[in-house]
Amino acid sequence: MSQAKENAAMAALDFVESGMTLGLGSGSTAEVFLERLGERIAGGLKVQGIPTSQRTADVAEENGVPLVEPDKVESIQLTIDGADEVDPQFSLIKGGGACLLREKIIAHASERMVVIVDASKMVETLGEFALPIEVDPFGMALTAEQIYAALMQSGCENAQTVLRQKKDGSGPLVTDGGHYILDSRCKKIPKPADTAHMLSQIPGVMEHGLFIDLADVIIIGETDHAKVMELARE
Ligand code: 5RP
> Are residues 11 and 118 both part of a single domain?
yes
Instruction: Name which residue sits closest to atom 5 of ligand 1, judged by CA.
Output: 83
Query: Is residue 182 within a helix (H) or strand (E), and if so which, with residue range?
Result: strand 180-185
Q: Give the integer Cα–Cα distance in Å for 144 and 4.
A: 37
Q: Whole-model pTM?
A: 0.96
How many separate domains does the chain show?
Answer: 2
Q: For a pocket test of ligand 1, which of 84, 92, 133, 218 has the largest count of ligand atoms closer than 8 A to its C-beta?
A: 84
User: Residue 196 pLDDT more than 60?
Assistant: yes
CATH label of the domain that carries residue 179: 3.30.70.260
Q: Letter for the amino acid at 78?
A: L
> Are residues 147 and 217 both part of a single domain?
no
> Are residues 151 and 91 both part of a single domain?
no
> Are residues 143 and 35 both part of a single domain?
no
206 CB-contact burial (10 Å; exposed 0-12 / middle 13-18 / buried 19+):
buried
What pLDDT digit, counting tens, does each position of 113-154 carry? 999 999 999 999 999 999 999 999 999 999 999 999 999 999
Question: What's the CA-to-centroid distance between 96 and ligand 1, angstroms?
Answer: 5
Residue 94 is given by DSSP the state -
Query: Is residue 57 within a helix (H) or strand (E), and if so which, with residue range?
Result: helix 54-62
Q: Give the integer Cα–Cα distance in Å for 138 and 176.
A: 17
> Are residues 18 and 106 both part of a single domain?
yes
> Are residues 119 and 39 both part of a single domain?
yes
> Are residues 195 and 225 both part of a single domain?
no
Q: What is the domain extent for residue 147?
A: 131-208
